[in-house]
Amino acid sequence: MTRFVVTGTDTGIGKTIFSAALAQATGAPYWKPIQSGLEEETDSETVARLAGVPVRPETYRLITPASPHRAAEIDNVNIDVETLAPPPGEFIVEGAGGALVPVTRTTLYADLFARWQIPVIVCARTALGTINHSLLTIEALRARGVPIHGLAFLGDAAEDSEAIISGISGVRRLGRLPIIDPLNGETLAEAFKANFALRDFA
Ligand SMILES: Nc1ncnc2c1ncn2[C@@H]1O[C@H](COP(=O)(O)OP(=O)(O)OP(=O)(O)O)[C@@H](O)[C@H]1O
Ligand SMILES: [Mg+2]
């Protein structure tokens, strides 16, 4: 069953584009529980545009473009982490930023993932710095008992970096999404098909 959390080593690394590709390939619905910053195209809008899959509305839509804990405070919104969970069945759930981004002053995304016990896909850049960021992210998830499904790399090929991250952590490499230009539903589907195996997400 396609039921995954998509997290990553940082903000702006391509989690939404990977989520859209995975949703498109599997037909699984997408959910971004908390969106902060509504000025630009939201992640849900991007996924709907690229993947054409059902998108569950965000539970919290915060105006301020900041970490959810801070955006909620500025917007005067109270995020209830107790009730924040995906419904049963197929879903691709995207966090915000990296695994240790605070949802509230006392709960991090990784704490939520640990509570949900849904396998996490770690998105990581291939650019310089990724070995450190990726291994730190994996350690932090493991320290909280979060199940890790695999690594999805994003960017130009960096075979040695990808191999050492997977080798040292023992987390399998699912594939790598290259930079796609132009980026649309069709080119995204082609890139996913060429670089990932659908059976790895069953
Ligand atoms: N494989 C790719 N090919 C081309 N452009 C990409 C690719 N991956 C990401 N991008 C572009 O990089 C930018 C950041 O990507 P994306 O929104 O997926 O990041 P994110 O990790 O989801 O960020 P956030 O933490 O804000 O949710 C976007 O403009 C997106 O279109
Ligand atoms: Mg995103």
What confidence score (pLDDT) does residue 96 get?
Answer: 95
Chain segment 132-182, per-residue pLDDT in tens: 999 999 999 999 999 999 999 999 999 999 999 999 999 999 999 999 999
- 8: CA distance to ligand 2 center in Å? 10
Ligand 1 atom at minimal distance to the Cα of residue 183: 4
| Predicted TM-score (pTM) of this structure | 0.98
Pocket probe for ligand 1: among 17, 58, 192, the residue whose CB has the most ligand atoms within 8 Å is: 17
* Vertex 32: Cα angle to 61 and 11 (nearest 5): 95
Q: Which residues surround ligand 2, an ion (CB under 5 A)?
A: 15-16, 43
Chain segment 109-131, per-residue pLDDT in tens: 999 999 999 999 999 999 999 99
pLDDT above 90 for 187: yes
Which residues on neighbouring strands pair with residue 34, listed in sequence order? 60
What confidence score (pLDDT) does residue 77 get?
Answer: 98
Chain segment 39-94, per-residue pLDDT in tens: 999 999 999 999 999 999 999 999 999 999 999 999 999 999 999 999 999 999 99
Measured in whole angstroms, the distance separating CA 138 from the mean position of its chain's CA atoms is 14
Tell me how far apart the alpha carbons of residues 72 and 79 are, in angstroms, rounded to a whole number. 7
Residue nearest to atom 14 of ligand 1 (CA): 12
DSSP string, 3-49: EEEEEESSTTSSHHHHHHHHHHHH---EE-SEEE--SS--HHHHHHH
Instruction: List domains and CATH numbers for the chain.
Output: 3-201 (3.40.50.300)
pLDDT above 90 for 202: no
DSSP element (H, E) containing 139: helix 130-143
Measured from the alpha carbon of residue 183, the closest ligand is 1
Tell me how far apart the alpha carbons of residues 9 and 100 are, in angstroms, rounded to a whole number. 9
Tell me how far apart the alpha carbons of residues 70 and 74 are, in angstroms, rounded to a whole number. 6
Averaged pLDDT for residues 88-104: 97
Averaged pLDDT for residues 2-25: 98
